[in-house]
Structure 1
Amino acid sequence: MKKVSIIIIICIVGWITVSNPFVSEYLTIKKESSLPAAKVSDPLYQSIIKNAHTYDIAPKDATIDRVWKAIPGYNGRKVDIKASYKNMKSKGVFNEKKLIFTQIKPKVHLKDLPPSPIYKGNPDKPMVSFIINVAWGNEYLSEMLATLKRHNVSASFFLEGNWTKKNPDLAKLIVSSGHEVGNHSYSHPDMKQLTAARAREQIVKTNEIIEAATGKKCVWFAPPSGSYRDETVKVAAEFNMMTVMWTVDTVDWRKPTPDALVSRVMSKIDNGSMVLMHPTESTAKSLDRLITQIEQKNLKIGTVSELLSEERVDQ
């Protein structure tokens, strides 16, 4: 009986400690008192403690949006008081630019959601991604790759299996240039019309060809023309692949002028946007200006994997 009473007392004390902010504050003070007295009494250290909460940001859980379907989560951040103090100590004055943060992960991740297509990244993440679907347009690839390299930008190229089979060297060049590759089906069918068995065949065959040519496993699937049904998404999920769509369409296959293409994209682009494009003359001639204007909006450009990750880009 005595043992049971002790356990109950421990549980009550533990609950009070977690739920009572005054107890938590007391423990924080006690913890600080174990630090060197000079550090605890330093006005700079106290200033960091006082201001830290104003820079903290709560994490955002991954969720299913009614319109945009699966939306990835986004890490929050919390000021690392000790590291920030060390970073500011030499000048002895508070400087928000020298704050050091630790990232706080959300409770719900993209992988926790039921299979659902992804049209955009988290709206709080100041990053965008280029989705370049490749089934033709070889003559424009070298110019596009050169432009991306000049700007030190990585994109995600979704390769058709049949194209990769015929152009393994180009597929390998895309990867060696630092870009990500994804699955764009084998023969560019209307995935919405395919049985589950046929959909599996398209995905598996393409995965095998891309891996053989580049050494890379595909984790993203982009259905041709954006045509899919729920079963298509579930089939991709069987192979631990998520289905990717787009937020902004360049409509480059209609051969718009570079001015029209840039204007169309820049009027729609925002945090988390995924921009659909192909190796076309319109895109090749627009890409340099497009990258410059996107970066002028303080948006970083990364691969689909980078965009859809929970990692913050403001640190």
Structure 2
Amino acid sequence: MTVDRRSILRTSAQLAALTAAGGLLAGCGREAATAAGAPHPPAASPSAPPTSGSPHSPDLIPHVPAGPAAASPSPTEPASPSPVAEQPPLAEGTPQEVVNGPRDRPQVALTFHGQGDPALATALLQAAEQRGAQLTVLAVGSWLDQQPQLARRILDGGHELGNHTQNHLDISAMSPDQAFAEITACADRLKALTGSIGRWFRPSEAQYATSQVKEQALRAGYEHLLSFDLDPRDYADPGADAVQRRILTAVKPGSIVALHMGHQGTVDALPAVLDALRERGLAAVTASRLCS
């Protein structure tokens, strides 16, 4: 399935409007709750990650800081994703949308769109497990309908499973009832297969959720939405080397990386990415562990 979700990423003004409505967080703080089945592996020994070349690269999709004070990066500053400016308190009843984790902890979260060839998905999980890494998979419900065994396979491997809608359509363009149906249909699959709807919901065809989508996610039982601050665009199949370079030039403590199952280049890039992260003292953990 060809995905062109970048075409609908929000402008700075749109992000500011989302922020004003509440619920968009730069970091996930120190929350202790975790999704059912999510592990708590020990964190890697802290060490400062070395600087590796210039991260100013046209390969990267940067996160655009919210608000009018956001400035363009200088030639010496990275064009990589950066945390959102300090946000106002969340409106009561508004789901938290997490963009990145704490920057003072040597951990990152590799998050995956769960869809595609089950053989590639299994190979990716195995590569992570061989290196002691835990992933977060935001599964598409229709994929779980076709590959129900992968739900337990993900959790049994020590990874985390969340909701990425039933059919991966443009949820921002849907009516409230349509959006709710997309979220709950996938949640029902997760509950039937694992006993839990999972902690995280990620909107389809969008980096950030609209206020309407947030309302429907909360209505469906999700208090936490999972965004990201680093997008290597692996869905465009640029090859393993490009995926690896795009991640490693921009990753930092607390990064949440958006990746995709079902792409050979991503599977091929993962071992080298995990080895490089370990050399920098960064542990790949689940999103819930990152936010614990």
The TM-score with structure 2 as length reference comes to 0.67
Q: 2:226: which partner in 1?
A: 244
Equivalent of 1:214 in 181, 190, 194: 194
Distance in 2 between the 1:217 and 1:110 partners? 23
Deviation, 1:128, is 0.5
Query: How many pairs were matched up?
Result: 213
Summarize deviations over 1:15-42 as a string: whole Å, max 9, x none: xxxxxxxxxxxxxxxxxxxxxxxxxxxx
Deviation, 1:139, is 2.9
Pairing 1:124–2:104 present: yes
Deviation, 1:175, is 1.5
Q: Quick one: structure 1 residues 65 and 127, their matched pair in 2 at CA, closer, same or farther if it must change by over 3 Å?
A: farther
Letter in 1 for 2:228: W
What secondary structure, in the 3-state scheme, does the structure 1 residue paired with 2:100 have? coil
RMSD: 2.5
Deviation, 1:140, is 0.7
Letter in 1 for 2:241: D
| Fraction of identical pairs, as percent | 23
Deviation, 1:292, is 0.8
> Structure 2 stretches of 5 or more lacking a match?
1-17, 32-87
Deviation, 1:132, is 0.7
Distance in 1 between the 2:136 and 2:91 partners? 20
Asked if the contact 1:132–1:157 (Cα under 8 Å) also holds between the matched residues in 2, the reply is yes
Deviation, 1:251, is 0.9
Asked if the contact 1:140–1:284 (Cα under 8 Å) also holds between the matched residues in 2, the reply is yes
Q: Quick one: structure 1 residues 172 and 288, their matched pair in 2 at CA, closer, same or farther if it must change by over 3 Å?
A: same
Deviation, 1:147, is 0.6
What secondary structure, in the 3-state scheme, does the structure 1 residue paired with 2:97 have? coil
Bigger RCO of structures 1 and 2 (CA < 8 A, at least 6 apart): 2
Letter in 2 for 1:72: C
Equivalent of 1:72 in 21, 24, 28: 28
> Structure 1 stretches of 5 or more lacking a match?
1-63, 76-107, 310-315
Asked if the contact 1:73–1:109 (Cα under 8 Å) also holds between the matched residues in 2, the reply is no
Deviation, 1:286, is 0.5
Distance in 1 between the 2:191 and 2:163 partners? 10
Deviation, 1:113, is 8.2
Distance in 1 between the 2:210 and 2:226 partners? 13
Pairing 1:189–2:172 present: no
Give runs of aligned pairs for residues 1-315 of structure 1, distance below 5 A: 69-70=24-25, 71-74=27-30, 114-226=94-206, 228-238=209-219, 239-279=221-261, 280-309=263-292
Deviation, 1:274, is 0.6
Distance in 1 between the 2:204 and 2:132 partners? 28
